[in-house]
Structure 1
Amino acid sequence: MSLYLYSFLFFILTACGSKAEQVTDEIPESIVETEVLVNPKGKTVAERFLPPKGFTRATQVENSFGAYLQNFSLKPHGAQVYYYNGAVKPNDNIYDAVLDIDVGKRDLQQCADAVMRLRAEYLFEQKRYDAIHFNFTSGFRAEYSKWRQGYRVQVKGNDCTWIKKAAASTSYTSFKDYLQIVFTYAGTISLEKEMKAVSMDDLQIGDVFIKGGSPGHAVIVMDMVTNDKTGEKLFLLAQSYMPAQEIQILKNPINPGISPWYSSNFSGPLFTPEWTFQRSHLKRF
């Protein structure tokens, strides 16, 4: 081989190597961070999603709603979201995980319904039956304490009354039947009215961004981490949507570098994959 040819080949090989190193150096930091923030083997919300560097997960009181949501079971990493009818929801950069809870066989458990489902499931698990109640859009207060005594809701137009029709029961099946009635007659308009407004500065796990309407939308805060130095809060959001579908942890379409975490330091709209909220839309049970 001539000295010229050898020199030429050496130049090509070293040039390719330099280019490869350059490409590696130019990999966006957000991609690396996103991979680090997700633990595919994690089985719960807190296990699956890791705090970014400098942030610490908010410690929740044992048996609190916040602890319940933080430790909620997830389907295996990469699971798809299913609609109530068994069809798959395309994941067009919408969700990062799926909660391990059923959606039912009817087109009922949509956005506000998913929020009410999580709240009701928590209270049912705690046997705090008297605390389970939701308002219908008509204003009727649907109390689970009445339902478990065997009363059922009779609806005639906008008028609702309790009628004794069944034996008393605290079975989970009866509880699910109660929720089906709530999902049928309640929604974002009624839920928004019965929740209280809170400041973003006081953000907590279990808080809800909700905009009442037809349509409206609601997403719930599932977890939160805080920056040890600045006090900045990052939070995870979960939703169902229309038609009824499994509850999913949302990706952050605006800041993929911290996705699926969202920062509390936003002054304008809060952009989620399928809805836009304002700071004033934050509410609490």
Structure 2
Amino acid sequence: MKRYLLPLILIVALVLVVTNTSKGKMVTNHVKGIVKDVVTKPNYINSKGDSISSRVSIPEGYKRTEYRSGSFQEYLRHYPLKPYGSKIINYDDSEYFAQHWREAILEVPVPSNGLQQCADALMRIRSEYLWEQNRKDEIGFNFTSGHYCSWRKYAQGYRPKINGNKVTFHKTASPNGSKANFYKYLNLIYTYAGTLSMHNELQKVLVKDIRIGDMLVKPGSPGHIEIIVDEIINDQGDKMYLLAQGNTPAQNVCLLKNFEDTTISPWYRFDENQPVYTPSYYFEKAQFIRFK
């Protein structure tokens, strides 16, 4: 009896399809629609966008938070991007192995000396913003030893003399406020500052208070750090954010996908003291710091 069961089912199905063509078409289309809804995820990427705000669209019900014109937040939100599909390139012109991590590449040059790693790239972005805003006297960072090294003193010709954890500054060079000398200063910062010094120096921020420009950090040697580059909010006050990172080896700064919640990727949500999974790093808790 069993050997006749399958042919019988097929015959009945065929009769139903033939006698109810229009209904069959509706059923078929409905099934296809269900399948499409299941497998299709929202796409928030505009391949023609040339900045963070124009490349990444926002989910329904959200809007971008407002910041004043000229602020660091607006500077990051409108940061220029390389053309869609650009790859993550290391300092030595080789391709990084994990191209699938990135949603976009920021227009942050990568020096060939290999110094500009994760924390360094973010210090560069902050310093270039202050430079463009004619706030050069605010450019400065602590070394891991805790000693403050400012661009203003470096431009005046002062250089550090480092002996273990002891640092003293001496005027050993001619004054030079050029942009080329500014990048020499940044190379010095890259050498003696990092995630640990930034964590120790900068203000800690609770998740409920974070904003664009705040940085998700795990201090250490090595540690890791990523920066919020956009922020959106809905009518209930729920917020989501975009993250960008430099990395080791020194490479392009990229906008990160969200592999943990692909339904909102590349947007992220954070909860106080809860872990954060990003493509390149697992943060044991959502710990943020803020530039001065």
Common topology (TM > 0.5): yes
Segments of 4+ moved more than 6 angstroms = 5-12, 14-17
- The separation in 1 between residues aligned to 2:189 and 2:274, in whole angstroms, is 33
| Aligned-residue offset at 1:27 | 2.7
**Equivalents in 2 of 1:29, 1:48: separation in Å?**
25
Q: Point out the more displaced range, 57-66 or 217-226.
A: 57-66
Deviation of residue 83 (structure 1)? 0.5
Partner-residue secondary structure (3-state), 1:177: helix
After TM superposition, the structure 1 = structure 2 runs for residues 1-285 of structure 1, keeping only pairs within 5 Å, are 22-28=31-37, 31-34=40-43, 37-91=44-98, 93-228=100-235, 230-265=236-271, 268-285=274-291
Q: CA RMSD in A?
A: 2.6
Report the TM-score, using the length of structure 2 for normalisation. 0.87
Per the TM alignment, residue 101 of structure 1 is displaced from its structure 2 partner at its CA by 1.3
Q: 1:159 offset after TM fit, Å?
A: 2.6
Q: Give the SS at the match of 1:283.
A: strand
- Report if the CA contact (8 A) 2:207-2:272 is conserved: no
Equivalent residues of 2:75, 2:129 under 8 A apart: yes
For residues 56-100 of structure 1, the C-alpha deviation after alignment (integer angstroms, 9 at most, x for no partner) is: 011111111101101100001111010011011133531100001
Question: What does the per-residue CA deviation read over 1:159-208, in whole Å, with 9 as the maximum and x for residues that have no partner?
Answer: 32223233323221111111000001111110110111111111110001
Contact 1:200 1:279 in 2 (8 A): no
Structure (1 or 2) with the larger CA radius of gyration: 2
Residues 184/20 of structure 1: CA separation in 2 closer, same or farther (3 Å cut): farther
Shift of 1:225: 0.5
Question: What SS does structure 1 have at the residue aligned with 2:50?
Answer: coil
Q: Which amino acid aligns with 1:254?
A: E
Contact 1:208 1:218 in 2 (8 A): yes
Aligned positions, number = 278
**Given the two structures, how large is their TM-score scaled by the length of structure 1?**
0.89
Q: Give deviations 1:87-119, integer Å, cap 9, x for gaps.
A: 111335311000011111122111111121111
The answer (yes or no) to whether the contact 1:233–1:263 under 8 Å persists in 2 is yes
- The CA deviation at 1:16 is 9.2
Is the 8 Å Cα contact of residues 29 and 257 (structure 1) preserved in structure 2? no
Deviation of the 1:25 alpha carbon:
2.8
1:51, 1:8 → 2: CA distance? Answer: 43
For 1:241 and 1:17, how far apart are their aligned partners in 2? 52
CA distance in 2, matches of 1:8, 1:31: 28
Task: Find the aligned partners of 1:278 and 1:134 in 2 and give their Cα distance.
Answer: 26
**Is there any run of 5+ residues in structure 2 with no aligned partner, and where?**
1-13
Q: Deviations over 1:195-252 (max 9, x none)?
A: 1111111111000111111210000000000012x11101000001111111000100
Ranked by relative contact order (alpha carbons within 8 Å, sequence separation 6 or more), the top structure is 1
- Cα offsets for 1:133-169 (capped at 9, x unmatched): 1111111211111011122223333332223233323
Uncovered stretches (5+) of structure 1, i.e. residues with no partner: none
